[in-house]
Amino acid sequence: MSLPPTHFPEKFLTLAEMMNISEQELERRKQFLQFGPEDEERLRKLAPVAENYAEAMIESFYEHVLSFSELKAFFPDAALLARVKARQKDYFLRLTQGNYDLDYAEQRLKIGAIHERIDLPIKYYLSMYNFYLREVWRYIFEIDPEHPDESMATFFSLMKLTFLDISLAIDTYIDARERTIKALQQEAIQELSTPVLPFREGMLLLPIIGQIDSQRARQLTEHLLVAIRAYRAKVIVIDITGVATVDSRVANHLVQTVDAARLMGAKVVISGISPEIALTMVTLGIDLGPVDTVGDLRTGIEHANRLQGYRVVKIAEPDEDEHRENA
Amino acid sequence: MDVELIVVESDAGVMNARQKGRQLAMTIGISGSDLTLLATAISEIARNIVQYAGQGEIEFRSIVRGGRRGLLIIARDHGPGIPDIAQAMQDGFSTSRGMGLGLPGARRLMDDFEIVSEVGAGTTVSMVKWERS
Amino acid sequence: MEVPILKQGDFLIASILGALTDTALTRLQENLVHAVRKHRSKGVVIDVTVLDVMDSFAARTLRSITVMTRLLGAKVVIVGIQPEIAFSMVQLGLRLEGTLTGLDLEDGIALLKAADTKDGARNHGR
């Protein structure tokens, strides 16, 4: 009794796939770092030793970290600190467990993403590796002081792997930044193309020029609603003088905008309905519903003024001297 | 991101589903106001499940198409099914006497939307919210 | 997770604190109706600024609050609907017809006072 599958054959994606880190890409990075099977071997051999020094190293690392006030803030209580230490231990032990495949990369990416999300500056994240490598060198050397070349080789293997980790961590930070920048750019572009103009306290003018498709209508509405909140607007004049055609879809968008504005306590006046548009709307049977509509922008503004209890009165002639100065 | 699944069988499940959806969408990078649209759509679909089928499940998956990330939401139930989907998706139609247009409304809140239903078998709604490009 | 109801003169103020369960919303309805009757309030401001989602259930409940409260002779203003919520609501066709709406608490109280004055004027047969 199962239903036919829906139309979305997308498989679910790992973080690595989302960030375009494929098997080949991972292989490439290892090649750049000159990290190969011999390195893996050396690291695997290091595992039992790593188990021994992990605790001590984590302890001294966190002593170092907690001596910085700005980092203390990330560990408000003892329970959290204990959990983090435990995870850190797992993280370091993983470095010597071999199998540095896409799964490994996926894990590292996840951890990087978590750190980025909690707003840990990357400088701290990276300096952790610095501390680790320097501490670890002692332990590695002590395994076999008679053969420093072996120790060096092992150390270098470890160093190559930590650089691989670092590259993955940096990727997650960069990725997050790029997404943020793109989002901000989008917002800026939208704001430019749909200007909402405050022309009196509590009153906004939204002149629309050109075609209104669904996407534009949605941008307009969103922008307007945010402006209502920002300017505490009670009356909006939406001027459609510059809108070429008003079909039922456009009318629908307008009605929705009016409804949404109303939910935020603002009233809308639609101005700029030309005789042609009026005729089209009647012919198509379009009803904008209980919305105030007027013929031109000037009337729209006057109407808006009246709604708010304003009346514009001329109290003097234009200043002749002002005009002359400009000549 | 792993696949996440929420069982929906009461109003607690409705709330779980929309909060989970919001949280997952946020990690994908979906923008602030879209999070609300998404949470609202999930809420409506989840309520439909509870109201018409008694229980169901909602699955969340992260997907990518053309370089853009999205959250795919698949809401399944084995309820009575919808006899006339076209009519149900028409604006202004609702089989119960409540307010609101759950299905067509949810469709307008989401970017991609698909519904499959079979009387006696159940209904599956699939919808996607993409990050802004 | 009760929604607190505060009395401010002739009016009651209910501020919704965040994600609201259906039960809490239904309880709010009961509590508000009782409070209106008990204090003989003239108006209620429901502040939904922090509400995470306004779906059909929430809209339905707010609407019944409005209807029930009106039967008791009081007006309801819903304030604090955020841009994204307002947008979603119109997509879902939830227009809260017959309910006053305002931008925020200050706006809401002003609307209730204005409505009160109008009623007063009408009742004194101007």
The tokens for C99 are 């309910």
User: In this predicted complex, what is the ipTM?
Assistant: 0.92
Percent of chain A predicted with pLDDT > 90: 37
Q: Which range has the worst mean pLDDT, A5-19, A49-63, A102-116, A270-284?
A: A5-19
Residue B91: how many CB atoms within 10 A of its CB? 12
Q: pLDDT tens digit string along A169-218? A: 899 888 888 877 887 887 777 667 778 999 899 999 999 988 888 888 88
User: Which among A153, A132, A130, A129 is positioned nearest to A141, based on CA atoms?
Assistant: A153
* Range B40-48 average pLDDT: 94
**Cα–Cα dist A104/A112, whole Å:** 12
pLDDT at A8: 53
Contacts of A221 in chain C (CB under 8 A): 87
pLDDT at B99: 39
**Cα–Cα dist B114/A133, whole Å:** 53
Contact B17, C55 (CB under 8 A): no
Tell whether the torsion through CA atoms of A65, A66, A67 and A69 is positive or negative: positive
Mark yes or no for CB contact B91/C59 under 8 Å.
no
Q: From residue A119, how far is each of A16, A112, A173, A249 by CA, in Å?
A: 21, 11, 10, 44
Mark yes or no for CB contact B128/A182 under 8 Å.
no
**Cα–Cα dist B120/A69, whole Å:** 63
pLDDT confidence bin for B98, thresholds 50/70/90: very low
pLDDT at A216: 84
Angle at B119 between CA B114 and CA B121, to 5 degrees: 80
Under DSSP, the state recorded for A19 is T
Q: Does the pLDDT value for residue B123 go beyond 50? A: yes
CATH topology of domain C5-123: Transcription Regulator spoIIAA (3.30.750)
pTM: 0.71
Residue by residue, DSSP assigns A120-139 as --HHHHHHHHHHHHHHHHHH
Q: Which residue has the tokens 């993403």?
A: A113
Contact A33, A160 (CB under 8 A): yes
Mark yes or no for CB contact C84/B14 under 8 Å.
no
Q: Which range has the worst mean pLDDT, A148-152, A161-165, B79-83, B87-91?
A: B87-91
CATH numeric code, B4-130: 3.30.565.10
pLDDT confidence bin for B2, thresholds 50/70/90: low
Domain ranges (residues) in chain C: 5-123
pLDDT at A180: 79
Ordered by where they begin, the domains of chain A are 15-189 (1.10.490.10), 197-307 (3.30.750.24)
Phi, psi dihedrals of residue A293, rounded to the nearest 5°: -125, 145
Mark yes or no for CB contact B122/A6 under 8 Å.
no
Percent of chain B predicted with pLDDT > 70: 89
In this complex, is the C-beta atom of A9 within 8 Å of any C-beta atom belonging to chain B?
A: no
Q: pLDDT tens digit string along C53-78? A: 999 899 999 999 999 999 999 999 99
Contact C42, C74 (CB under 8 A): yes
The tokens for A106 are 């996926």
Q: pLDDT tens digit string along A286-302? A: 777 778 999 899 999 99
Domain ranges (residues) in chain B: 4-130
Q: Does the pLDDT value for residue A259 go beyond 70? A: yes
Show which residues on chain C lie within 8 Å of chain A, measured between beta carbons: 78-79, 81-87, 89-91, 95-96, 101-103, 107, 111
Mark yes or no for CB contact C83/A225 under 8 Å.
yes
Contacts of A264 in chain C (CB under 8 A): 81, 83, 86, 101, 103
The tokens for A34 are 């000159």
pLDDT at C73: 92
B66 dihedral zone (left: phi>0; alpha: psi -120 to 50; beta) = left
Show which residues on chain B lie within 8 Å of chain A, measured between beta carbons: 1-3, 27, 29, 31, 33, 61-65, 69, 72, 74, 76, 78, 112, 114-118, 121-124, 126, 128, 131-133
Query: Which of the residues A264, A267, A307, A308 would you substitute to probe the C interface, choosing the one with the greatest number of C C-beta atoms within 10 Å?
Result: A264
Residue C72: how many CB atoms within 10 A of its CB? 14
pLDDT at A191: 67
